[in-house]
Homo-oligomer: A and B are copies of this chain.
Amino acid sequence: MRTVHVGLVGCGTVGSGVIRILQQHREDIARHQGVDLEISLVSSRTLSKITALGVPKDRIVADWHDIVSNPDIDIVVELIGGTGVAADVILEALKAGKNVVTANKAVMASRGEEVFAAAEEHNCEIGFEGAVGGGIPIIGPLKHSLTGNEIDTVLGIVNGTTNYMLSRMNESKLTYAEALAEAQAKGFAEADPTADVDGLDAAAKIAILASIAFNSRVTIDQVPTQGIRSIAPMDFQYASRLGYQIKLLAIAHKGADGIDVRVHPAMLSKDHPLADVNGVNNAIFVHGDSVGNVMFYGEGAGSGPAASAVMGDIIEVGRHVLYDIPPIVGCTCTDQVPIKDPGEISSRYYMRFYVADEPGVLTQIAQSFGDCDVSIASVMQAPSSSDCAELIFMTHHALEANIKKALDKLFDLDVFYEFGSLIRIEEEE
């Protein structure tokens, strides 16, 4: 059996995980899967880290071009992350005729079409299971086992950082700031948490999943995104009383009128399989016309899980290299389904805000909603301080555009003090 040569570009958390797997299991993998894999070249900016992993010095290069241009390399593994150099590595490698494996959600969610075109032109494979859901197999199942289905729903808890924070806010009544500080202390959140807490990471992931599930390209800039910064412990109490759990959901629905894709905090029935997914775990829920509901659950981040996903792709591509098999499944975005205008999406809404505690306020607010075709299902009032009342509104189904109009009207009222939170109710259709 000839050895398949892998070049690793980037050697941080995931890259070192990949190196460790091959150090421990190279012979097992060769015996079980029939592929002998060798990490023949590694490039990274931090030489000491790679040598500490036991990689011989003659396999380390400073410049990634030396990997991409090396004729012996069969598979280039891009694990730098981000959309700058990483995109160059992926595209240059494909143009040089190398198969590519990556965990790069940002590149795949923004330049997927370009990447697939390059792969097809140069007859190469592109594996990216690691881009979504850490170690959870989800791209493989969508591209293989579930292909007999017309999929109409993908719902995901795909960001471990925010799921950890929301879980802690729910179970221990932490504030947003406390939950963030705890997540940072444990290494689950970065110093600048923007990509996680504002939902951008989740947006990239749902763009990728929607593209595969619906066979139609969705890019990250097409995903309206609302983060979790405004969620407060009291929202969990109200949610619980109403039978809901609050999760940052990445949502994609396909209907006759197009694709509805978005990321926002949502109230989910406590009976929903996603409602019990806590901590840094991820889960992706899929509904297909034949299969019904299926869910994929696991650790969404970390060196081991992400390296597991990347390694699965390397082994798969390695098998094809060995047997001289051309790429089997490339881009599956064969349709062009329109993306629905977010304003046209109908949901039920939960809203919390603060108003003057005086007669006639409720009438004014009800009027504002009514004027914009937003019908109120229930109101709860809790005294907040001497002259301020906390109001919780649940609406009937309303168009997002109308909710926005109603909120603008509300903000203009003299009796309106402060906005609390706005959370959509996600119901299974």
Which residues of chain B are within 8 angstroms of A2 by Cβ–Cβ distance? none
Which residues of chain B are within 8 angstroms of A304 by Cβ–Cβ distance? 289-292
Set B145, B295, B323: member contacting A328, Cβ < 8 A: B323
User: Smallest Cβ distance from A399 to chain B, in angstroms?
Assistant: 30
Contact (A288, B308) CB under 8 Å given A294-B135, A298-B293, A298-B295: yes
Give this chain's copy count.
2
Q: At the interface, yes or no: A95 with Cβ under 8 Å from chain B? A: no
User: Are A308 and B323 closer than 8 Å at their CB atoms?
Assistant: no
User: Are A328 and B332 closer than 8 Å at their CB atoms?
Assistant: no
Q: At the interface, yes or no: A38 with Cβ under 8 Å from chain B? A: no
User: Are B291 and A148 closer than 8 Å at their CB atoms?
Assistant: no
User: Smallest Cβ distance from A103 to chain B, in angstroms?
Assistant: 13
Q: At the interface, yes or no: A146 with Cβ under 8 Å from chain B? A: yes
Interface 1/0 per residue, A297-333 and B, CB below 8 Å: 1110010110111111111100110010110110010
Q: At the interface, yes or no: A241 with Cβ under 8 Å from chain B? A: no
Which residues of chain B are within 8 angstroms of A221 by Cβ–Cβ distance? none
- Tally chain A residues at the interface, Cβ within 8 Å: 60
Q: At the interface, yes or no: A276 with Cβ under 8 Å from chain B? A: yes
Which residues of chain B are within 8 angstroms of A289 by Cβ–Cβ distance? 24, 304
Which of the 9-residue segments A25-33, A80-88, A174-182, A198-206 touches chain B?
A25-33
Q: At the interface, yes or no: A233 with Cβ under 8 Å from chain B? A: no
Which residues of chain B are within 8 angstroms of A294 by Cβ–Cβ distance? 135-137, 296-299
Q: At the interface, yes or no: A21 with Cβ under 8 Å from chain B? A: yes
Contact (A297, B297) CB under 8 Å given A29-B148, A146-B312, A332-B32: yes
**Which residues A129-158 have CB closer than 8 A to chain B?**
129, 135-137, 140-141, 144-150
Can you spell out 30 A-B residue pairs with CB atoms less than 8 angstroms apart? A21-B148, A21-B290, A24-B150, A31-B334, A32-B147, A32-B215, A32-B332, A32-B335, A135-B290, A135-B294, A137-B146, A140-B140, A140-B141, A140-B144, A141-B141, A145-B313, A148-B311, A148-B314, A148-B315, A276-B276, A289-B304, A292-B298, A292-B299, A292-B305, A294-B299, A295-B295, A295-B296, A296-B296, A319-B329, A323-B328
Alpha-carbon distance A394/B289, docked complex (angstroms): 45
Alpha-carbon distance A273/B135, docked complex (angstroms): 17
Q: At the interface, yes or no: A10 with Cβ under 8 Å from chain B? A: no
Most chain B CB atoms below 10 A, which of A136, A145, A323? A145
Which residues of chain B are within 8 angstroms of A332 by Cβ–Cβ distance? 32-33
Alpha-carbon distance A141/B315, docked complex (angstroms): 13
User: Are A308 and B291 closer than 8 Å at their CB atoms?
Assistant: yes
Q: At the interface, yes or no: A227 with Cβ under 8 Å from chain B? A: no
Which residues of chain B are within 8 angstroms of A316 by Cβ–Cβ distance? 144, 147
Which residues of chain B are within 8 angstroms of A326 by Cβ–Cβ distance? 323
Q: At the interface, yes or no: A7 with Cβ under 8 Å from chain B? A: no
Which residues of chain B are within 8 angstroms of A146 by Cβ–Cβ distance? 137, 308, 312
User: Are A129 and B145 closer than 8 Å at their CB atoms?
Assistant: yes
Q: At the interface, yes or no: A97 with Cβ under 8 Å from chain B? A: no
Alpha-carbon distance A319/B320, docked complex (angstroms): 14
Alpha-carbon distance A140/B329, docked complex (angstroms): 15
User: Are B308 and A299 closer than 8 Å at their CB atoms?
Assistant: no
User: Smallest Cβ distance from A269 to chain B, in angstroms?
Assistant: 13
Q: At the interface, yes or no: A17 with Cβ under 8 Å from chain B? A: yes
User: Are B137 and A144 closer than 8 Å at their CB atoms?
Assistant: yes
User: Are A328 and B335 closer than 8 Å at their CB atoms?
Assistant: no
Which residues of chain B are within 8 angstroms of A325 by Cβ–Cβ distance? 323, 325, 328
Which residues of chain B are within 8 angstroms of A308 by Cβ–Cβ distance? 145-146, 148-149, 288, 290-291
Closest 3 CB pairs of A and B: A148-B311, A137-B145, A294-B298
Alpha-carbon distance A302/B33, docked complex (angstroms): 32
Set B29, B293, B296: member contacting A299, Cβ < 8 A: B293
Q: In this complex, what residue of B is CB-closest to A215?
A: B32
Alpha-carbon distance A28/B137, docked complex (angstroms): 24
User: Are A335 and B31 closer than 8 Å at their CB atoms?
Assistant: yes
User: Smallest Cβ distance from A329 to chain B, in angstroms?
Assistant: 7
